[in-house]
Amino acid sequence: MTGAPLPPLVQIPPDVRSLADYERRAPAHLTAEAWQHIQEGSGTGQTLRANLEALARRGFRPRAMADLRGGGTAIDLFGRSHAAPLMLAPVAYQRLAHPDGEHATIRAATALDTGTIVSTLSSVTLEEIAESADAFAGEMGKRPAPLWFQLYLQPEREHSLALLRRAEAAGYEAIVLTVDAAIKLSGMVLPAGVRAANLAGMPQPRQTATPGGNILFGTPLTEGAPRWDDLAWLRAATSLPVLVKGMVLGEDALRAVDMGADGLILSNHGGRVLDGLPSALDMIEDVIEAIGGRVPVLVDGGFRSGTDVVKALALGARSVLIGRPQLHALAVAGMPGVAHTIHLLRTELEAAMAQLGCAKVAQITRERLIALR
């Protein structure tokens, strides 16, 4: 990448037919710093490879001549219908990719009836995002798609509570507590015009180490990392469904459910926080078995096609979250790009279901998979 980034396209090029095509085009529409931030993982990329390898190890066993009449992809989660088992994952600082940032993404999600999880670190306030969703849904004569809020705990609990109350007041329908990303190294300096809009006015202490002492331990980075008592506090503080995002171990998942978590999101944070984490795809069955199927389990981490989504559903996931591809599409073509990305995934999902002989999401079971290697 050299020179200034290209402006977003006003039409989707005919050669953009997959999420990989958006990823291929995105660098030309971003600064080098923004592209590095979006794509960065930690370490040597073991976790990123694990995500791809877990998907590649699994193939399909289609059922011939199935009755597909009356088929569909709708699912229910926490009393709300979702058009498909897909949600947009919480992705920070979307104005790095496009001036409209989260406004463009939420309009795309609304148009495609796709649930969205808004990041604490959104570059547009959570209230403005909810207002965009409501306004755009009103223009289309429909109800807004499900809107959840992802919570990063703040150093002072009163500030976490303030974020929670703002989300409740703005009409968010669930809270997602992320527990795996408090200790995440990043060298990105936000450019002018991009900020953590929800945290305006809240103190953000510097992560400074004592000379000659520990580098991370004893700093706000580790002292404020989520603990089990934080989950207990959050569960008592809201009547909304609470999901915990970032767990990979069955025993941790069981403890979270025992403490009142209404759902789990298995995630390795796309390889951004700890290299060497397993793919969520390899952990789903263990976690579901550990919790006895008591709450829905969602997954994210490297899913890039409708067939990827089917594999997660077959292993027991209720829905799949899509992260980085939001920014790829946003950079390339703004709101139409994100809408097209969702459309591509849903089209690929329905085509795969039809080929497998699954008219409904509930028919996508473990028996539809086969080990390839």
Three-state DSSP state, 120: coil
| From 29, 82, 98, 269, active-site residue | 269
Residue 269 is a catalytic residue: yes
Query: What pLDDT score does 248 carry?
Result: 78
Q: Is there a contact between 58 and 311 (Cβ–Cβ < 8 Å)?
A: yes
Query: What pLDDT score does 19 carry?
Result: 98
d(CA 225, CA 219): 10
Q: Is there a contact between 181 and 154 (Cβ–Cβ < 8 Å)?
A: no
Q: What are phi and psi of 28, to 5 degrees?
A: -70, -15
Query: What pLDDT score does 153 carry?
Result: 95
d(CA 272, CA 90): 14
List domains and CATH numbers for the chain: 19-184+194-199+215-371 (3.20.20.70)
Query: What pLDDT score does 39 carry?
Result: 86
- Locate 313 and state its tokens: 């559903």
Chunked in runs of 10, what are the mean pLDDT values of the chain (373 residues)? 85 96 98 90 76 93 96 97 97 97 98 98 98 97 96 95 98 95 66 94 66 55 77 98 90 96 90 80 94 96 95 98 97 98 98 98 97 86
User: Closest by alpha carbon to 97, among 203, 194, 13?
Assistant: 194
How far is the CA of 369 from the CAs of 7, 56, 120, 279, 313, in angstroms? 42, 12, 37, 17, 10
Q: Is there a contact between 132 and 106 (Cβ–Cβ < 8 Å)?
A: yes
Rg (CA), the chain: 20
Query: What pLDDT score does 258 carry?
Result: 97
Query: What pLDDT score does 325 carry?
Result: 97
Three-state DSSP state, 105: helix
Query: What pLDDT score does 246 carry?
Result: 87
What are 322's strand-pairing partners? Answer: 88
Host H or E run for residue 346: helix 324-356
Query: What pLDDT score does 44 carry?
Result: 74
